[in-house]
Amino acid sequence: DGYAYTWEVDRTWRKTRKPTTNLLCNGADPNRNWDVNWGQYGSSSNPCSNGYHGDYVFSEPETLQLAQFVNLIPDLFAYISFHSFGQLLMTPYAFTRNASVENDLLVDIGQISVQNLSTVHGREYRVGSINDFFGNVAGSSVDYVALTKTPKIVYCYELNNNHILPPEEIQSTGQEIFVSLMTIFTETVNRG
């Protein structure tokens, strides 16, 4: 799935390792392989690109298995996706500038969450939609879950402001994200 490859060959590898139609290039970006406007924008049809969306929707076993798992959960309460880097807490959607039905609530809870996060180690996160920060991107897991499962909480974190997190920042990042998550869940429950 690319994990071992990140330790052995390329620390910033972001794709899977499944062979593609190009014998020289393996893998697809698993966050461009989901069934939400797949392949339309914000990804590439070039198997050698880091943003390659795969040969077809759910062509990657990793995305297919996660989608099947998520679809087995009848009343999914939350879906949180973690990425690096940028110090962002993002709401759906990526594929369109249109806001999700829950966007105002998610942004409000998100703002409280990142305020509490900043009290832990002083790091500042920004809140907004994925599209606000990255423009139109199709094939996102966050959008897929938001559109097919309608859970109460759907967020995507872009963690700390370093793509390769220094070991000395791992614990502090975990501590602040824990506070952020607990705030999100507490605020959600308190609001019914």
Q: How confident is the model at residue 161 (pLDDT cuts 50, 70, 90)?
A: confident
Strands of 19-177 (E only): list them: 78-84, 88-91, 126-129, 153-159
Q: Is the peptide bond between 85 and the residue preceding it cis, with omega within 30 degrees of 0?
A: yes
Q: What is the pTM of this model?
A: 0.93
pLDDT > 70: percent of the chain: 100
* pLDDT for position 151: 75
pLDDT exceeds 80 at position 162: no
Residue tagged active-site, from 8, 62, 124, 158: 158
- 158 noted as active-site residue: yes
pLDDT exceeds 80 at position 27: yes
Average pLDDT, the chain: 94
* pLDDT for position 189: 92
Task: State pLDDT tens for residues 77-129.
Answer: 899 999 988 999 999 999 999 988 889 999 999 999 999 999 999 999 999 99
**Residue 93 Cα distances to 59, 68, 105, angstroms:** 22, 21, 14
Q: Quick check: 54 and 130 in contact, CB under 8 A?
A: no
* pLDDT for position 188: 92
